[in-house]
Amino acid sequence: MEKDFITPPNHVNFLAKQLFGSCGEIENVAVAHLQPNGGGPTTQHSHTHSHLFIVTKGEAKILLGNEVHIIHENESFSIEGGCMHSVWNNVDSETVMVGITIKEQIGK
């Protein structure tokens, strides 16, 4: 069965996996379809807001400064505001991701 999925109490034929907890105020949410070799931006960038990415199909490669992170289907990955990054499809088929933009927290 899927890694880290559970059946919550009082549920039947139901598997769930928590992808993230409290994360701040959500600015927007988008769905992205990345074709093979797709992604971007072509050079890493940063901004004040944070991102939370959830891969729903395929596999993503996140470049975070000098680090490479592979995010598999049904996994999430967060990027703090101010970190240099870019996001790429890591497989030979379409990758689908949900991107959640989280507002900068003043005084952080």
Better-scored residue on pLDDT, 8 or 40 = 40
Let me know if residue 108 belongs to a domain.
no
Let me know if residue 45 belongs to a domain.
yes
DSSP code at position 13: S
DSSP helix/strand/coil, 30 = strand
DSSP helix/strand/coil, 5 = coil
The tokens 């729903």 sit on which residue? 56
Assign residue 41 the CATH number of its domain: 2.60.120.10
Task: State the pLDDT confidence band at 1, using cuts at 50, 70 and 90.
Answer: very low
Number of separate domains in the chain: 1
Q: Give the helix/strand (H/E) hosting 14.
A: none
59-82 mean pLDDT: 96
95-103 mean pLDDT: 94
**What whole-number percentage of the chain has pLDDT above 70?**
94
In which domain, by residue range, is 48 found?
26-102
Q: Would you say residue 75 has pLDDT above 70?
A: yes
Predicted TM-score of the model (pTM): 0.82
